[in-house]
Amino acid sequence: MSDDELMEKARHVPRFIEDPWKVAFMFLTRESLPLGSFWERFFQGHEGLYSIYLHTSPNYNYEPPNSSVFYKRRIPSKDVEWGKPTMIDAERRLLANALLDFSNQRFVLLSETCIPLFNFTTIYNYLINANQSFLGSFDEPGNIGRGRYNKRMGPTITLQDWRKGSQWFEINRELAVEIISDNLYYHVFRDHCLPPCYMDEHYLPTLVNKVCPELTTNRTVTWTDWSSGGSHPTTFRKKDVTEAFLNRVRYGYNCTYNGGNSSICFLFARKFHPSTLEPLLRIGPRLFGFNT
């Protein structure tokens, strides 16, 4: 199918489905998953409760062994450039493919540098029982917020509509169909969100604010460290991965969940260098309680 045919098909899927429900894990990657062995441990023993989708470079042809959870999970993909509309095209491609499986109820966007912070059961229950989606959409003044708005987007999108948020989202089926169904705002962004505007930071937050703000909690469940400044977050390496560090990310924050207070705010974290695989495999399964 062409992208247009794929989107058209995905727009007509059911918005609400009967359980049992699955969580769709959608990996937007360049090539391989260097932390794939850690994810294999995470998924082990939970067949039937998840789906996996990989969007890679179209030139990447490696296929993992058929014993892998990633075997034949690549979708038809196209080249992606950082900060360009092709990034959103890839996200929509992943969502549309995942929507075609009617048992998928929640949809998580991940990269090859992401890791889970809890075992599968904890993450699955957190997402399946959540009454809203987790996608940040906030009004930010200054150059990296309102300063990126292009007045040529008006009157379809005004400065009052303009929002910013993390690219890494987790959404329910209803919101996924809303995103795939959008033809109006996507084209305005594609034509007018040009550097220093980056579509992956503004399109979905603005779309959600315009169409269905009540469907999101206005926060992400993917932790990222931006404390060092700059246009890219901190990349963690082998020496950084300790039990204390992981627990600080897992329990060091407070947030609301389904209207109540929660100390579990983040389910995933990034960016983790390939060198972190060894300490993650050594510490993670015991700390996170994999296979539960």
Q: Which residue matches tokens 């075992």?
A: 119
Over residues 203-232, the pLDDT tens digits come to: 999 999 999 999 999 999 999 998 887 778
Asked if 122 and 23 count as a contact pair (C-beta separation under 8 A), the reply is: no
pTM, two decimal places: 0.96
Name the token pair of 43.
């998924």
pLDDT number for residue 1: 86
Average pLDDT, 10 consecutive residues per value, the chain (292 residues): 94 91 97 95 96 95 93 96 92 98 97 97 98 96 94 97 96 97 96 94 97 94 88 92 97 96 97 97 94 74
Nearest to 104 by CA among 19, 24, 10: 24
Over residues 95-113, the pLDDT tens digits come to: 999 999 999 999 999 999 9
Percentage of the chain beyond pLDDT 70 is 100
Name the token pair of 252.
């060091």
pLDDT number for residue 232: 81
Number of H helices, E strands in the chain: 9, 9
Domains and CATH numbers, the chain: 3-219 (3.90.550)
- Alpha-carbon gap, residue 157 to 114, rounded angstroms: 32
Name the token pair of 202.
């503004």
pLDDT number for residue 231: 73
Beta strands at 115-116 and 268-269: parallel, antiparallel or unpaired: antiparallel
Q: What is the CA radius of gyration of the chain?
A: 18
Q: Would the CA dihedral through 15, 129, 111, 195 be positive or negative? A: positive
Kindly report the length of the chain: 292
